[in-house]
Every structure is written in structure tokens, then in C-alpha cells.
Amino acid sequence: MTLSETDALDGLRDALGQLRNRESVALRLLESSAKHSFDPDTELDWEAPFEDGKWFWPPELVSLYGTPLWRRMSEEQRLLLSRHEAAALASLGIWFELILMQLLVRHIYDKSATSAHVRYALTEIEDECRHSKMFARVIAHSDTPWYPVSRVHHNLGRLFKTISTTPGSFTATLLGEEVLDWMQRLTFPDERVQPLIRGVTRIHVIEESRHVRYAREELRRQMMTAPRWSQEFTRMSSGEFARVFSVAFVNPEVYTNVGLDRREAVAQVRASAHRREVMQQGAKKLTDFLDDIGVLRGVGRRLWRSSGLLA
């Protein structure tokens, strides 16, 4: 056997090993989905009124927390801001999950529909549909506006889901899921928070943990096997998406709707060391992982730093 034939055989063995691992992970996730999936329409009490004096988001996670403006606000206004920011985050979640579902469909389009990997992707799409409906319902129930992202970010999302590489898609998936997941893990056990919001975040955390595992495993494989140009494009596009995501995370319209000066509020959030620490802490598990698999390099790393998500 020649050296080239040996290399080819080794490559085939590696590919088969990765395929078996991909199927094994998907099977375990399918089993977990069968045991731990929820219907928000029946699991949550949508008829119960909100409780007076309870937050809609932990105060430490509200964007203005600790700023001079926060110290001037009444407790009632702080609670109202948490209500509107919870609605804005739910709106952002719907936007992001619509992008994610399209990226997953693209990912499985050329793959065997009978594989566990594809079956789990379809299961995740099913989860995301329920999550988006749940978020829309909690916005309506909260008597707040729907907070769409800016037209620029909306169109950037349209462009991204059209041109993204497969590893780029999974990097963006993790960005959208892991930062919000970190915040929600602080929210659902917090008894200061409204029971309905705690229930929504609990469901989302349990089901998103499977999505994170699926995306991490696939992204690790993709960064090992993708062509060099694809890896470089992933680094740059994910860095740019991180910048978009960090800006879109709080919709400035919430400040206007609770009676605050929008420009002053935005300026204080940007200057807030506490807010910067919250966002970096929320992204830390993700950025550590991305650094480990080679995503945070070169221009991409500089873009991630400029997003404020990477120290």
C-alpha cells in the first residue's frame, strides 16, 4: 500500500469515526428530548395575574442596574423597565430562533433524512417553534410592545442566513443560545421574579441545553474538517455577528416606553462596567470553547473584543 493510499484510508477511518460519534450524540439527544420536552401552553399558568412588586428579570441583569440613572429611578419604574426588557429579550429570541431554524434546515438539506443527526435537527426545529410561540405569548400577556430589531440588523440577519458557512451557522447558534441561557439560569430559581417568567425560562433552559450540546459537537467537527477559507470566513462572520448581537441585546425603545431619556440611558449602559461584566460573564463559557477550537483568531478575535463580549 502506497503512502497516499494509507493517508486516504486513515482519512476514511476518521470520517467514519466522526459519523458514528455524530449519530451517537444525536441518539442520546433524541432520548433526552422524548423524556424532557414541554408544551408551554399546558405547562404554564397563563391565567394567573402578575404579582405586585415582583421583577420580570433579575434586577442585576437589567441593563441600567448600578448606573446613576438607575439610582434616580423609583422602584416602580425599575420594575417597569424589567418588564419591558423581558419583552425585548423575548422579541430578540424570536428573531434569532427564526434565523436558527432556517440555518438548521440548510444544514440538513443534503443529508440523509433517516439519520439520527437529521432527526434531532428536526426535533430542535420543533422545540424552537414552541419557544417562539411561548415568547410571543409572554410578550402579549405582559401587555408590552413587540420589540423588533432595527431594520439594519433585520437585513443583516437576512444576509447572514443566506451566506453563512456551516461552522459559521453553528457559531452564531451558540452565541444566541449561550448568553441568554446563562441569564435564564439565574432567572428561573430567583423567587424575586414573576412565576410565569420563571416558568418560561425554566422550560427554555432545559430544552436549550440539548441544542447547545448538538451545536458544540457539530461545530467542533466542522472546524476540524472545513476548508481553510471556510474556517477563516467563520471567524470573521461570527465576530461581526457578535457585534450585531451585543448591540441588539437591549432595544433602546424600552427606555422611551418607561419614561426615560433614551440617549442618556443608552450612554450610561455603554459606560457601565457592571453591564460589561454581565455580558462578558454570560459569554465566557462560549468564548472559552470558541478559543479552544480555533474560532477566536486574527480579525475575528478583534471583532469579538469590539463587541464587548470578550475581555
Confidence of residue 12 (pLDDT cuts 50, 70, 90): very low
Statement: residue 15 has pLDDT above 50? no
Question: What tens digit of pLDDT does each residue of 153-193 get?
Answer: 999 889 888 888 889 889 988 998 999 999 999 999 999 99
Beta bridge partners, 55, equal 193
User: What is the identity of the amino acid at 232?
Assistant: E
Percent of the chain with pLDDT over 90: 79
Give 222's Cβ-side CA count (13 Å radius): 23
What band does 18 get if pLDDT is binned at 50, 70 and 90?
Answer: low
Single pTM value for the model: 0.89
- Residues 6 or more apart in contact with residue 158 via CB below 8 angstroms: none
Residue 20 has pLDDT above 90, yes or no: no
Angstrom distance (rounded) from CA 147 to CA 239: 24
- Express each pLDDT in 278-307 by its tens digit: 999 999 999 999 999 999 998 889 999 999
**20: CB partners within 8 A, 6+ apart:** none
Range of the domain at 206: 3-307
CATH for 158: 1.10.620.20
Hey, what's the cell of 262?
A: 433614551
Q: Which residues of 29-62 are buried (b: 16+ CB within 10 A; e: fewer)?
A: beebbeeeebebeeebeeeeeeeeebbbbbbebb
Q: Which residues contact 50 (CB under 8 A, 6 or more apart)?
A: 142, 194, 196
The count of domains in the chain is 1
CA torsion angle 306 307 308 311 (round to 10): -60
